[in-house]
Amino acid sequence: MLRFDHIAIGCATLEQGATYMAARTGLTVPVGGEHPLMGTHNLVMSMGEDTFLEVIAINPSSPKPPNSRWFGLGISNFATPRPHSWILNSDDLEADLATAKSLGVDLGSPTTLTRGDMTWRFAVREDGAIPLEGAAPMIMEWSEMSIHPATKMADLGARISSITLATPHA
């Protein structure tokens, strides 16, 4: 089963992303952490017990990873921060990726990541690109042992009531 997990705001720097979020929402999104495997870092806030918002950028303090970065970072130019990906949580990542592939959509291959007590697998395309330029979701799977990280994030009262997708592919 697939469930909405989070939305990602891509930006050139976290400072730029923080300014963007403050101007749009009046909120200061707290620092999340680093993703050494991808050379990125983020700001995060809870949007409920199993949903969150992530502001993500390349970490200038990290070496460039040997593989492509996720979320199209390193491919896209984020002169202006923008929502650029929506992420679904899968309870069977391989099956969901196979279903997408059978429909002609490359969502990527699972990559395992950890930070602190969190472990998750995230499907990343070999080229790092966002599937169908954001019209298709990115898919991940939290470890069965992991408590959803949104429960540990600051809850500033923001919630997602709907998402509208627009694509030149339709």
Q: Which helix (H) or strand (E) holds 99?
A: helix 93-102
Q: Would you give the DSSP letter of residue 117?
A: T
State mean pLDDT over 98-112: 94
pLDDT (average), residues 143-167: 86
Mean pLDDT (whole number) for 152-168: 87
Residue 2, pLDDT score: 95
pLDDT for the residue 99: 97
pLDDT at 71 over 80: no
Cβ atoms 45, 154 nearer than 8 A: yes
pLDDT mean across residues, the chain: 89
| Cβ neighbours for 79, distance < 8 A, ≥ 6 positions apart | 12
Domain 2-152 has CATH 3.10.180.10: yes
Confidence (pLDDT) at 82: 86
CA distance 52 to 5: 7
- Amino acid 131: pLDDT: 84
Which pTM does this prediction carry? Answer: 0.89
